[in-house]
């Protein structure tokens, strides 16, 4: 995933920073090895981008964020449970995507688990060719500037979280 998403995510951060001063970027990575891969990509693509890269700490980083830009997967569920507005990016290998489309294997309206649980696109999805800074950047800034929308999303995520609880510990 780092190889597929580092470029569009770093480019989105650069796009946003060029248009809005004072933004802070925090990137939690599941391991030190993946952190090193991301740092290599940052040195190549965005050496001047000021961001904090963490080994671990995704829950803390997500909880502290105003808006999260994440890859589709379980991270969208974690972000929903932490009630944080998000944008979702995902890009399959071109051959895999062509095969999935040709075989009509996609039967759901959304890629992100958060949107599937919500039954609506609360988290804008940027898939395949739409996974680009010039599309994700404006959406991210729009979300940052729309406090009522963020609050609506937080309330909806809280409702979904409550619906998911089944008192399993008891």
DSSP assignment of 104-135, as one string?
Answer: T---SS-SSHHHHHHTS-SS-EEEGGG-SHHH
160 within 8 A of 83, measured Cβ to Cβ: no
At 12 the pLDDT is 97
Top-confidence residue, 101 or 75: 75
* Burial class of 170 by CB neighbour count within 10 A (0 to 12, 13 to 18, 19+): exposed
Quickly state the pLDDT bin for 32 (edges 50, 70, 90).
Answer: confident
Rounded to an integer, what distance in angstroms lies between the CA atom of residue 115 and that of residue 106?
Answer: 15
pLDDT tens track for 85-125: 999 998 866 666 667 777 776 776 688 899 999 999 999 99
At 108 the pLDDT is 66
Residue 19, φ and ψ in degrees, nearest 5:
-110, -15
Neighbours of 151 (CB within 10 A): 11
At 19 the pLDDT is 96
DSSP assignment of 31-52, as one string?
Answer: SHHHHHHHHHHHHHH-TT--EE
**Percentage of residues of the chain with pLDDT beyond 70:** 94
At 142 the pLDDT is 98
DSSP assignment of 81-106, as one string?
Answer: HTT--EEEEE---HHHHHHHHHTT--
Check the CA dihedral 118-120-122-128 and report its sign: positive
- Find the range with the poorest average confidence among 4-8, 108-112, 130-134: 108-112
Mean local confidence (pLDDT), 137-150: 98
35 within 8 A of 29, measured Cβ to Cβ: yes
- Find the range with the poorest average confidence among 21-25, 35-39, 57-61, 108-112: 108-112
């Amino acid at each position: 995933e780092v190889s597929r998403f580092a470029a569009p995510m770093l480019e989105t951060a650069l796009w946003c920073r060029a248009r809005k001063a004072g933004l802070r970027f925090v990137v939690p990575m599941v391991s030190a090895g993946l952190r090193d891969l991301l740092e290599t990509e940052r040195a190549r693509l965005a050496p001047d981008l000021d961001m904090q890269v963490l080994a671990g700490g995704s829950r803390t980083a997500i909880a502290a964020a105003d808006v999260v830009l994440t890859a589709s997967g379980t991270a969208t569920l974690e972000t929903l449970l932490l009630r944080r507005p998000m944008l979702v990016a995902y890009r399959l290998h071109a051959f895999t995507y062509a095969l999935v489309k040709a075989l009509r294997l996609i039967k759901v309206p959304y890629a992100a688990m958060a949107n599937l649980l919500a039954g609506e696109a609360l988290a804008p999805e940027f898939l395949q060719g739409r996974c680009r800074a010039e599309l994700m950047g404006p959406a991210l800034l729009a979300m940052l500037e729309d406090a009522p929308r963020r609050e609506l999303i937080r309330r909806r995520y809280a409702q979904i979280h409550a619906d998911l609880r089944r008192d399993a510990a008891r």
